[in-house]
Amino acid sequence: MTTICRLVPERCIACGLCAIYAPDIFDYDEDGIVLFKEEPEASQQFVRATEQKSVLKAAAKCPVRAILLEKEKRR
């Protein structure tokens, strides 16, 4: 199964925890709102196997659930 990470920027309170736990994945815009480091305009992206652990931790630590993870079943 593949994991998809979705961002809900309107929930973000700019606490910075996601960048602490997954600095290679998450970054912030000029207002401190979460975005993807590699694709700032994207609202979702696939999570690489090597990044799985840090993204899971960042999502778990997000106090407002601005990072959502979904499992996508392969066909």
Q: State the 10-residue block means of pLDDT for the chain, 75 residues long.
A: 93 95 95 95 95 96 97 73
| Residue 49: domain span | 2-72
Please give the pLDDT value at position 75.
60
User: Minimal CA–CA distance to 14: which of 25, 29, 1?
Assistant: 29
Please give the pLDDT value at position 69.
97
* CA gap 8, 44 in Å, rounded: 9
Total domain count, the chain: 1
CATH code, domain with 9: 3.30.70.20
- What Å distances lie between residue 70 and 15, 19, 59, 66, CA to CA? 23, 20, 11, 13
Please give the pLDDT value at position 24.
96
pTM of the model: 0.89
